[in-house]
């Protein structure tokens, strides 16, 4: 038998890309590839790219440039670009970077093995279609090997919201939900291989509406309740959500579904109604705050996370102060915040832009407040007992690292036999991005 060929995949951006990279690696397994962690010994390099902000997209070209030496040393090396930059700029990538053999958009990953075969015949191949067939159906199912205790599972893709700053509706297309039976069988398979926690993924995951196993329509809450019936699956999470899709039954599930973890990523982007309108967000600061209140009524300890954009076109000091006030009011446990980045082809790109210094200054102030809130919430965990799912060994001898229900990273002295298990841990200390704890009853 020929030696297996080696595939190096580098993943940028969101968790959906992480999931997609795993699926692509599995699909290429069928073509005799095994994964490698180093580009130097690879027969194929695949960059799974992100187009959400300008910096993310530019990284692709600088990274590709770095592979020139490898291609000189090994002319058989094939280089591919996948993900959202591939979707948005496929032709340009081929023109700008002759090293690239293959460009594949996110909806065509099931065609990757056939595309790779064509590159071996010396062709350059580009596929950024939105094909009729379902790529998840066509992608080879996961190999039966056991795996770590946490997994992502994409249940929904695409976005119909068209926020004025965002490329996702263009790169990932319209909202599509996978049928319930496909999601259920993938989840059961994951659990049979040791997974205890599943994070359901979608660009707009709470807009999930898939065909149920009973033929009816399942919203995300129903899907979560069905998944919660799977023995051995202990934790369910989902990300990322839009405030307008937080339906009543999903809020209720946060109160009464024990396996649904008390953590919610619910981006608001801005606290100014004027800017929210210009962003085409179709909610107000007040409607968001009322929504948070309803969620906290059913689950008072829920940890909230969000996304913010500062320096959106026309954002005044007053608008920015409204964002700061909203943050003060919500008290987030964790957040992502960004300077507005102009994305060609989106409505906001056509508007007058704010100076870079203004964006930087606002981002600094917002991040200082968000870090302070994160630290306060972490510090408030000290002395409390939490459940931790241990995922891997720590750097210190005898140490394991896991996540609490609230998604805090927790370092604990614990026997290796607890890897993949959930244990009670008393939190003893809080540091910048993690907590330390001790096993309860030991």
Interface with ligand SF4 (CB under 6 A): 159, 161-163, 166, 168-169, 203-204, 242
String of DSSP letters for 242-272:
-GGG--HHHHHHHHH-TTB-SEEE---B-S-
String of DSSP letters for 153-202:
EE-EE--S---TT--HHHHT-S-EE--HHHHHHHHHHHHHTT--EEEEE-
Looking at residues 311 to 340 of the shown chain, list those that interact with ligand 5AD (rule: CB under 6 A): 338, 340
| Residue 310 C-beta: closest distance to ligand 5AD, Å | 9
**Total residues interacting with ligand 5AD, rule: CB under 6 A:** 12
Integer CA distances (angstroms), 399 to 50, 393, 429, in order:
34, 6, 15
Residue whose CB is less far from ligand SF4, 118 or 161: 161
Residue whose CB is less far from ligand SF4, 136 or 308: 308
Binding at 203: pick from ligand 5AD, ligand SF4, none (beta carbon under 5-8 Å per type): ligand SF4
Residue whose CB is less far from ligand SF4, 159 or 195: 159
| Residue 338 C-beta: closest distance to ligand 5AD, Å | 4
Q: Does 52 bind ligand 5AD (CB under 6 A)?
A: yes
Q: Does 165 bind ligand 5AD (CB under 6 A)?
A: yes
Integer CA distances (angstroms), 113 to 44, 48, 88, in order:
12, 16, 21
Q: What is the CA radius of gyration of the chain?
A: 23
Tokens 């964790």 -> residue: 334
Binding at 343: pick from ligand SF4, ligand 5AD, none (beta carbon under 5-8 Å per type): ligand 5AD
Binding at 242: pick from ligand 5AD, ligand SF4, none (beta carbon under 5-8 Å per type): ligand SF4
Please state at what angle helix 220-228 crosses helix 248-256, rounded to 10 degrees: 30
Q: Are 276 and 285 in contact (CB under 8 A)?
A: yes
Please state at what angle helix 54-66 crosses helix 83-96, rounded to 10 degrees: 50
Burial of 264 (0-12, 13-18, 19+ CB in 10 A): buried
Binding at 309: pick from ligand 5AD, ligand SF4, none (beta carbon under 5-8 Å per type): ligand 5AD
Residue whose CB is less far from ligand SF4, 178 or 225: 178
Residue whose CB is less far from ligand SF4, 157 or 186: 157
Looking at residues 339 to 368 of the shown chain, list those that interact with ligand 5AD (rule: CB under 6 A): 340-341, 343
Looking at residues 369 to 428 of the shown chain, list those that interact with ligand 5AD (rule: CB under 6 A): none
Binding site for ligand 5AD (CB under 6 A): 52-53, 165-166, 267, 269, 307, 309, 338, 340-341, 343
């Amino acid at each position: 038998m020929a030696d297996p060929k080696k595939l190096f995949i580098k993943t940028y951006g969101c968790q959906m890309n992480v999931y997609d990279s795993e699926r692509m690696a599995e699909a290429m397994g069928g073509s005799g590839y095994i994964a490698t962690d180093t580009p130097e010994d690879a027969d194929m390099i695949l960059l799974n790219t992100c187009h959400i902000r300008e910096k993310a997209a530019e990284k692709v070209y600088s990274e590709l440039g770095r592979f020139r030496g490898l291609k000189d040393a090994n002319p058989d090396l094939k280089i591919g670009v996948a993900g959202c930059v591939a979707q948005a700029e496929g032709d340009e990538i081929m023109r700008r970077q002759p090293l690239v053999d293959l460009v594949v958009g996110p909806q065509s990953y099931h065609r990757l093995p056939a595309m790779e075969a064509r590159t071996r015949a010396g062709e350059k191949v580009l596929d950024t279609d939105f094909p009729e067939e379902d790529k998840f159906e066509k992608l080879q199912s996961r190999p039966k090997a056991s795996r770590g205790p946490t997994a992502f599972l994409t249940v929904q893709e695409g976005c119909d919201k068209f926020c004025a700053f965002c490329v996702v509706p263009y790169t990932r297309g319209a909202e599509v939900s996978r049928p319930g039976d496909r999601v259920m069988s993938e989840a059961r398979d994951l659990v049979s291989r040791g997974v205890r926690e599943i994070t359901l993924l979608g660009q707009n995951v709470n807009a999930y509406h898939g065909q149920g196993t009973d033929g009816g329509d399942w919203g995300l809450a129903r899907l979560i309740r069905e998944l919660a019936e799977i023995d051995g699956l202990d934790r369910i999470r989902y990300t990322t959500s839009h405030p307008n899709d937080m339906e009543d039954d999903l809020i209720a599930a946060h109160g009464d579904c024990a396996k649904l973890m008390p953590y919610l990523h619910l981006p608001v982007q801005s606290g100014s109604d004027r800017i929210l309108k210009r962003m085409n967000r179709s909610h107000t600061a007040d409607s968001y705050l009322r929504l948070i209140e309803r969620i906290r009524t059913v689950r008072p300890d829920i940890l909230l996370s969000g996304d913010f954009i500062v320096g959106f076109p026309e954002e005044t000091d007053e608008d920015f102060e409204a964002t700061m006030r909203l943050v003060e009011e919500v008290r987030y446990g964790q957040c992502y915040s960004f300077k507005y980045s102009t994305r060609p082809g989106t409505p906001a790109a056509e508007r007058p832009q704010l100076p870079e210094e203004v964006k930087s200054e606002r981002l600094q102030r917002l991040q200082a407040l968000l870090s302070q809130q994160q630290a306060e919430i972490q510090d408030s965990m000290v002395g409390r007992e939490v459940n931790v799912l241990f995922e891997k060994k720590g750097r210190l001898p005898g140490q394991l690292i896991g996540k609490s229900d609230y998604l805090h990273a927790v370092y604990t002295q614990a026997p290796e036999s607890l890897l993949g298990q959930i244990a009670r841990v008393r939190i003893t200390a809080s540091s910048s991005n993690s907590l330390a704890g001790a096993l309860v009853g030991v």
